[in-house]
Amino acid sequence: MGVTAAPPPAITAEIAPGILLDSRRALVHQTQGWMAVADLHYGYEVHRSRQGALLPNWGMGQCRATLLALIHDHRPERLIIVGDIMDGSGSVAQTGAFLDNLRTYVPDLILIEGNHDRSGLKKGWNLQKAHREQDILFHHGHHGIAPPLLVEDLFATHPQVTLVTGHEHPAVSLRDGAGFKLKLPAFVQQRIRPEMQNWILPAFSPWASGGEYTSEYEPLATWACAPARVWRLA
């Protein structure tokens, strides 16, 4: 009788005290009990095929399998999806069914509205503009990095705050000098002002290749996310 192989262990790096970046493009707070991902763009292949694109039907299955594996490994009390849950109006039905199934695996599913999230999804689900976990504020980021009213409310109770956003799809390109090039999704940390940081999540969608992120703000760290490794580049 064959022996079933154990699933591979989660590959993580601690990017702040008690906060892990999983190589599968998720942020996990070990003590507060939440896990965050951004930019699923669920149903990308379905939505784009209705616009004439010819794409294989594999992204949704990979997105679901990776997210369920993350939930299994980290057991979050709250799963926060930081915007662009769906790709567009052509994938409303698929995204709704996906969320219906997903909420059976986590005690609390928190959905934040992104610029790709359409009215068809909003009618069936409560999409928030932002979500707060103590001194951390989650919002998608398509209306700017630091919404003034939300941020000032945070400063009333916390001297230091962190904004967690998506939207930018940050990535890094690695070269060996001999013609080989590898692009990987990246997690970016930057300082907006002395008492405020912004952390940008990598896109969770397997379709989102992303691009180099540049900003006027002070860079703190960039982390590359490979299938079996996550590490700090700068």
The mean pLDDT value for 203-212 works out to 92
Q: Which amino acid is present at 227?
A: P
State the alpha helices, DSSP H only, in the chain.
44-49, 59-74, 92-102, 119-124, 148-155
Matching residue, tokens 């068809």: 120
Query: Does the structure show a pLDDT above 60 at 3?
Result: no
Output the DSSP codes for 175-190.
Answer: E-SSS-EEEEEEEEEE
Burial (0-12, 13-18, 19+ Cβ within 10 Å), 27: buried
Query: Does the structure show a pLDDT above 50 at 5?
Result: no
Of the candidate CATH numbers 2.30.29, 3.40.1350, 3.40.50, 3.60.21, the domain formed by 19-232 belongs to 3.60.21
The mean pLDDT value for 150-177 works out to 89
CA distance 91 to 96: 9
Q: What is the pLDDT of residues 6-50, one digit of tens each?
A: 456 789 999 999 999 999 999 999 999 999 999 999 988 887 767
Q: What is the pLDDT of residues 116-154, one digit of tens each?
A: 999 989 898 999 999 999 999 999 999 887 776 678 788
Give me the percent of the chain exceeding a pLDDT of 90. 70
Q: What is the dihedral of CA 122, 128, 129, 132, to 10 degrees?
A: -170
Matching residue, tokens 């965050």: 36
Query: Does the structure show a pLDDT above 90 at 170?
Result: yes
Q: Which long-range contacts (CB under 8 A, 24 or more apart) does 54-59 make?
A: 58/206, 59/205, 59/206, 59/207
Structure confidence at residue 8 (pLDDT): 61
Q: Cβ(83)–Cβ(142) under 8 Å?
A: yes
Q: What is the pLDDT of residues 95-121, one digit of tens each?
A: 999 999 999 999 999 999 999 999 989
Structure confidence at residue 6 (pLDDT): 47
Q: Cβ(190)–Cβ(218) under 8 Å?
A: yes
